[in-house]
Structure 1
Amino acid sequence: MNSSDTSAGDAPALAGDGRSARWDAHRQSRRTELVKAARSVIHRLGPGASMDDCAAAAGTSKSVFYRYFGDKDGLRRAMGEIVIGQMRTKVVDAARAATSEEAGLRAMVRAYLHMAQTSPNVYFFVTGTPPEPPSPAAQPAGEPLDDFFAELTSMMTDRMHAYLQNRGGGTAVNPALDLWPRAAIGMVRAAGETWLRTPDSPLKPSEDALTLTITGWLVSGMAGDPHGGNRRQRRRDTETPA
């Protein structure tokens, strides 16, 4: 066992700010090491992995994990800060790099699905979502995603207004449309989590196929073009001249 773990919860007598800063840096470094070890265990064993499993992987005792994180829910929150932070960076950067509003939506969906499918076990653990389909009465916890989805809601609201204006909709927008970003995020998450739970088979859509399909739903509705595009323009393109 790492001897430094035996006093992890009790700060030593500190002599000046420099020593205090070094102690804080040590604790943060050790905390990160423990989260990484636990993440590898969750990835292999699933969200049901125990604190004993995590401690064994880290080469320390279960009591050390409790000292640093309080309980398994505290570990989940700590891991969520890292995992959701990485997901946020990928999704937001993808959206900002897009050259159009529709491309931005597609990039966000693709980045979200890609990050989630990298390790479904870790995703379900940090979001507090059961890896099996929940009962109709169950409400997923999902609190590590709250700030992340709030930021995406704001970004999607701006993109929605820009998209409608570019289509010639002017500045007058139905106020009910402001509900669309939050509803869209709920749909993307529900579709993505159902996809993650679906066993591999020839019928399971690929990441690219699901990305295009969901983007089509967001832009054009249930029967939308999976490749996106302006519905009015598509109608003109397919009309037969008289």
Structure 2
Amino acid sequence: MKNISAGIDGAGDGRAARWERHRSERRLELLSLARKAIHHLGPQASMDDIAAHANTSKPVYYRYFGDKEGLRQALSEVVIGDFRQQVIAAGQAQEAESSALHAMVTAYLQLAQSSPNIYFFVTAQSSDALTAPNAVEEDSTRVLGAFFDEITLLISERLWAYARKGSEQNSGAVALWPRAALGMVRAAGELWLRQPADEHRPTLEELAEALCSWLTHGIASTKLGA
């Protein structure tokens, strides 16, 4: 005799799997549409603005992401994932310590410059991610903090010997250098992104070169104007 209940259960499992797949695909589609909306409208865009730009309704976004912070968290995972992959790959592709630093700084600035609106949206409310990554519980901060932790570790591994060059003692202050270096890159990069695109704004290459010079040789390595 045919097991009818098994057949019903199997059909139910199939429907559930199809529904989950549909939800996953729809969620990715909504994230892609939100990313385009924020890119064009800016990080201050409301959920109404984002939904209208995506030609859907705000309740749809609330259904999938809860609220704007939930959307920020979901988009942060995607965008910061891209940052992680490209910045780490840039550093690992270089053998020399100074070249690795330059490659990572350049990759970070390139990614931020590709869409400042997206960058500022996913990094909003994450000021503690550099100095106290475990002090804030928001998931968007956790994602960004994990990214900074990994980049800091990579800088430590690649540039520890360079940072200690000329120092005979194992200074506790030197251990703070990788995280401080990353904070400097982030702060300078965000100021640069907000500058008007005129003749006074340095190019990406000029900023990357200056940052690496400051980090490895100090401000004295830069010729200052009169």
Matches within 5 A, 1:197-236: 197-224=194-221
CA deviations over 1:180-201 (Å, ceiling 9, x no partner): 0111111110000000010111
Alignment correspondent of 1:159: 158
Indicate conservation of the 8 Å contact 1:216/1:224, yes or no: yes
Structure 2: gaps (5+ residues) = 1-8, 127-137
Indicate conservation of the 8 Å contact 1:46/1:122, yes or no: yes
Q: Which amino acid aligns with 2:148?
A: F
RMSD: 2.5
User: Cα offset for 1:59?
Assistant: 2.6
Alignment correspondent of 1:192: 189
- Normalising by structure 1, what TM-score? 0.76
CA deviations over 1:160-206 (Å, ceiling 9, x no partner): 223357x5767x53222110011111111000000001011101000
What is the aligned-residue identity percentage? Answer: 51
Give the length in aligned residue pairs. 203
2:197 aligned counterpart, secondary structure: coil
Q: Distance between the aligned counterparts of 2:157 and 2:145, measured in 1?
A: 19
Residue 33 of structure 1: which of 23, 26, 29 is its match?
29
Per mean C-alpha deviation after superposition, the further-off stretch among 172-181 and 72-81 is 172-181
User: Cα offset for 1:15?
Assistant: 4.1
User: Cα offset for 1:93?
Assistant: 0.3
- Normalising by structure 2, what TM-score? 0.82
Q: Which amino acid aligns with 1:160?
A: L
Q: Distance between the aligned counterparts of 1:224 and 1:184, measured in 2?
A: 16
Q: Distance between the aligned counterparts of 2:91 and 2:10, measured in 1?
A: 46
Q: Distance between the aligned counterparts of 2:50 and 2:174, measured in 1?
A: 45
Q: Distance between the aligned counterparts of 1:157 and 1:189, measured in 2?
A: 17
Q: Which amino acid aligns with 1:84?
A: I
Indicate conservation of the 8 Å contact 1:14/1:20, yes or no: no
- The yes-or-no answer on 1:88 pairing with 2:87 is no
Q: 1:30 to 1:61 in 2, by over 3 A?
A: same
Q: Distance between the aligned counterparts of 2:206 and 2:166, measured in 1?
A: 29
CA deviations over 1:69-126 (Å, ceiling 9, x no partner): 0001111111111111101111000000012111010011000000001111111011
Matches within 5 A, 1:166-181: 167=165, 173-181=170-178
CA deviations over 1:4-51 (Å, ceiling 9, x no partner): xxxxxxxxx984554433332221211111011111111111112121
